[in-house]
Amino acid sequence: SNVTRLAAQQQLTQDDLLAFDSTGDLTILHVTDIHAQLKPIYFRPPSENIGVGMFEGVPPHLVGEAFLQHFGLTPGSALAHAHTMVDYVNLAKAYGRMGGLDRIATVVNAVRAERGDGNVLLLDGGDTWQGSYTSLQTKGQDMVDAMALLKPDAMVGHWEFTYGEDRVLELIDALQYPFLSANVFDTTWDEPVFDAAMMREVAGHKVAVIGQSMPYTPIANPRWMIPNWSFGIRPEVIAAQVEKARADGAEVVILLSHNGFDVDQKLARDVPDIDVILTGHTHDAIPRAIEIGKTLLLASGSHGKFVGRVDLDIRDGKVTAHQSKTIPIFADVIAPDPAMAAKIDEIRAPYEDELNRVIGQADDLLYRRGNFNGTWDDVICQGMIEERDAQLSFSPGFRWGATLLPGQDITIDDLHNQTSMTYPSVYRLEFSGLQIKEIMEDVCDNLFNKDPYFQQGGDMVRVGGMAYTCAPKETMGNRISDMTMTATGEPIDMDRSYVVAGWASVNENVEGPAIWDVMESYITRKQTVTASGSDIVKVVGI
Amino acid sequence: VAAIGLPVGLANATPEDTMAKIKEFAGDKEPQTGGKLTLNTPEIAENGNSVPVGVSVESAMEGDDMVEEIMILAEGNPNPDVVTFKFSELSGEAIAETRMRLAKTQDVVAVARMTNGDIHMAKAPVKVTIGGCGG
Amino acid sequence: MASKPRVKLPKSASAGEIITIKTLISHEMESGQRKDKNGEVIPRQIINKFTVTFNDKTVFEADIEPAISSNPYFEFAVKVPESGTFKFTWVDDDGSVYETEEAIEVA
Ligand SMILES: [Mn+2]
Ligand SMILES: [Mn+2]
């Protein structure tokens, strides 16, 4: 690994990262899915991201070497490390952590200085207020206060809604910028709840920004927390907003979207008059925008790893040229912005001892993102089985949650980065084998339905104590087979019932201890934590 | 499913039941599916107890280019009938929206009958899912 | 049992204008296919008919089946030829009839 350390130390500078051959006079900056990560983190990209139908083998369904080749990235380079898991541990040690809101502030300020304040739009793609210890303690207030320093121009949401309607409205009132959602209507009279769009004068051009919150929030997250709000993709509503924006003189129409990358790629075809779609939710990142028809789509990753930048050259009311890039936020290379750094320290100060309290050590690389499992989720699944005396366990396929390198201490801060949310109870229930299969098939179709409008939620549910085979290209109800108890090697009996522990159920009044208490007890007991079952899912037919 | 007011046990309607009801509604006219009738349903239902469904037909709503009735059917429910809307010259536009119960993932069907007897049909799949996987 | 129906429509319109009306009535809409705790079928009781008239002329109707959700919601369009009164009527299986009306001004 000396070679890689050497390569890394080619004196990667802040200027290298900020280098951008700008065009035109208007710049859009995009951050998304920060998940309340104020401090720099490690975040291993997935080693598996299966696409089906027309999405097979195209971004974001390219990982590792295939991703490097597709985008022409040099193996071992900073960009190769930011975007892929190739040689992850060595390169992570070489290049260091990524993200940190104070580093992001430096980049945003630098671009504003370069282009002129009135010529830059900063848009927040949502999943900002949830995902850390301090965001849970302050119910999102910490992120609202920190993001205020960045002065975004608008935001949309998804996990924000898990604080409940009242808290969301309370925080939105405190924002100095609009919370946009064209796709949220009240369940009584079917009328819009939020502003759908806004028009801004940027670099002397009329720019419309339409907002889209995560369309399946009441399905992926507890509906009882937002009983009066209905979501949906609603392409006809977006089309009407685009038309209205053009009628109002918009030279550029931007969709700030939390739809997910595949949904937005289909939407770009269904509603072809959008100039730029800034896409979030699926945590994908690409080095530069892809084009569908005239629409530019830029996916800017997650956890603060990137700031997306799109420059537009506009003549006679039309976009005539563009440049785009996701700027990788290498924390050891980019100087922290002093004001933001101070704000972060102020936010964390009251909780510093608890945040840094060490409860164990990671023996393996602990990460979450992956179609079928992640090593952090293996630990959570095993922890629930042991601590709750269950036979099997379910852990939802969330895509948020930072990575820990082998040998790294596990702190309360780290544990909450995997578990911080407002419905943390660990249930202990009995399910029949058939019910377990139905749940797995239901979630599996949310990932591998050929029509992205029928996809929703995160990666596949993680199952502890069980191995199985999955055929992603099959149809609903026919993808899961050979379900086997790993402890005994016996097949799962459809008629027999099994004790299952799981967390983050979307049902109301779920009884059980909070996931972080269960996992603190497990990790403290184990001291060094290894991830056992990453080979328990056999994928066939692709 | 019991929780949403529709029983689990009853054998859900097979498409034949639905076809029979369409036949009865359409008389001897062959339903056209050219898109004159638009059926608007969510791809995935947020709540199987209350799934929004909207129908609209492009028509002058006068003379023989007028919509008489639009019937909505849920193929996968125990009883596929949902609602029949009846329009008049004073409707101005043949547009209606309501909320229905769906027992499971299924196709929703809408059939419109014009004053000249023409029949238009539209079908849309709606997924009713367990949910709860965050993302 | 149902209670206070609610409707939403503009107070005024220009002659011949097409407006959208939204209506809601709170009602259980017991489908007759549910069973109570001890396995007895809970008898069906729904709103089975919704009618809208304008100056006593029928404008819009809905023949309703048990698959319509509780608290039935209907949204539809109507053309407003002159000033007048819309009457909304919901008929319950048990024979009860719920009504409300709204006037509209044509300037
Ligand atoms: Mn996210
Ligand atoms: Mn999201």
HEC profile of A211-238: EECCCCHHHHCCHHHCCCEECCCCHHHH
CB C5 within 8 A of CB C22: no
What tokens appear for C86 in the block? 């819309």
Q: Which ligand is nearest to the CA of A214?
A: 2
- Report, in this order, helix, strand and coil percent for chain C, each rounded to 5: 0, 65, 35
Residues of chain C neighbouring A188 (CB-CB closer than 8 A) = 24
**Interchain contact B38–A (C-beta under 8 A):** no
Nearest residue to A265 (alpha-carbon basis) of A282, A281, A279, A245: A279
Q: How far, in Å, is the centroid of ligand 2 from the Cα of A259?
A: 8
Stretch 79-98 of chain B: residues touching chain A, C-beta under 8 Å: 97
Residues of chain A neighbouring C24 (CB-CB closer than 8 A) = 188-189
pLDDT, tens digit (0-9, with 9 covering 90-100), for C42-60: 999 999 999 999 999 999 9
Minimal C-alpha gap between C55 and chain B (Å): 11
Tell whether omega for the bond before A60 is within 30 degrees of 0, i.e. cis: yes
Minimal C-alpha gap between B104 and chain C (Å): 12
Q: Average pLDDT of A422-451?
A: 96
Q: Return the SS3 of A338.
A: helix
Token pair 């299969």 is found at A437
Q: How far, in Å, is the centroid of ligand 1 from the Cα of C72?
A: 36
Minimal C-alpha gap between C8 and chain A (Å): 9
**Interchain contact C62–B (C-beta under 8 A):** yes
Please report all neighbours of A, defined by 3+ CB atom pairs within 8 A: B, C
Q: Do A190 and C8 touch (CB under 8 A)?
A: no
Q: In chain A, what percentage of residues exceed pLDDT 70? A: 98
With a cut of 50, say whether residue B3 has pLDDT above it.
Answer: no
* The pLDDT of residue B8: 45
* The pLDDT of residue B7: 45
Lowest mean pLDDT among A296-300, B98-102, B130-134, C49-53: B130-134
With a cut of 70, say whether residue A18 has pLDDT above it.
Answer: yes
With a cut of 90, say whether residue B113 has pLDDT above it.
Answer: yes
Q: Do C62 and B74 touch (CB under 8 A)?
A: no
pLDDT, tens digit (0-9, with 9 covering 90-100), for A349-360: 999 999 999 999
pLDDT along chain C (107 residues), means of 10: 87 97 97 92 96 98 98 98 98 97 95
Chain C residue with the nearest C-alpha to that of B100: C68
Q: Return the SS3 of C107.
A: coil
Nearest residue to B9 (alpha-carbon basis) of A478, C45, A476, C35: C35
**Interchain contact B40–A (C-beta under 8 A):** yes
Q: Average pLDDT of B36-47?
A: 96
With a cut of 50, say whether residue A136 has pLDDT above it.
Answer: yes
Q: How far, in Å, is the centroid of ligand 1 from the Cα of A452?
A: 17
CB A141 within 8 A of CB A205: no
Q: Do B100 and C68 touch (CB under 8 A)?
A: yes
The reported pTM is 0.96
Q: In chain A, what percentage of residues exceed pLDDT 90? A: 95
The count of C-alpha atoms lying within 13 angstroms of the C-alpha of C103, restricted to the half-sphere facing its C-beta, is 5
Q: Average pLDDT of A22-28?
A: 96
**Interchain contact C57–B (C-beta under 8 A):** yes
With a cut of 70, say whether residue A45 has pLDDT above it.
Answer: yes
**Interchain contact A72–C (C-beta under 8 A):** no
Minimal C-alpha gap between B98 and chain A (Å): 10
**Interchain contact A192–C (C-beta under 8 A):** no
Q: Give the DSSP per-residue string, A60-72.
A: TS--HHHHHHHHT
Q: How far, in Å, is the centroid of ligand 1 from the Cα of A253?
A: 24
Task: Count how many residues are written for chain C.
Answer: 107
CB A273 within 8 A of CB A242: yes
Antiparallel, parallel or unpaired: β B81-86 and C57-64: antiparallel
**Pairwise CA distance, residues C82 & B124, whole Å:** 38
Stretch 26-55 of chain B: residues touching chain C, C-beta under 8 Å: 49-51, 54
- Give the CA distances from residue B110 to residues B69, B89, C46, C59, in Å, rounded to whole numbers and listed in that order: 10, 21, 22, 21
**Pairwise CA distance, residues A334 & A98, whole Å:** 10
Strand order in the sheet with A409-411: A409-411, A358-362, A528-529
Minimal C-alpha gap between A375 and chain B (Å): 17
Q: How far, in Å, is the centroid of ligand 2 from the Cα of A350?
A: 28
CB A245 within 8 A of CB A205: no
Q: What is the mean pLDDT of chain A?
A: 96
* The pLDDT of residue B5: 45
Q: Do B82 and C68 touch (CB under 8 A)?
A: yes
CB C67 within 8 A of CB B101: yes
Residues of chain B neighbouring A506 (CB-CB closer than 8 A) = 131-132
With a cut of 80, say whether residue B11 has pLDDT above it.
Answer: no
> Domain extents for chain C?
6-46+58-106
pLDDT, tens digit (0-9, with 9 covering 90-100), for B74-91: 999 999 999 999 999 999
Q: Average pLDDT of A77-94?
A: 95
* The pLDDT of residue B132: 77
Q: Return the SS3 of A134.
A: helix
* Correct CATH for C6-46+58-106 of 3.60.15.10, 2.60.40.10, 3.40.190.10, 3.90.1150.10: 2.60.40.10
Indicate left, alpha or beta for A435 from its phi (over 0: left) and psi (-120 to 50: alpha): alpha
Amino acid type, B79: N
Q: Do B134 and A233 touch (CB under 8 A)?
A: no
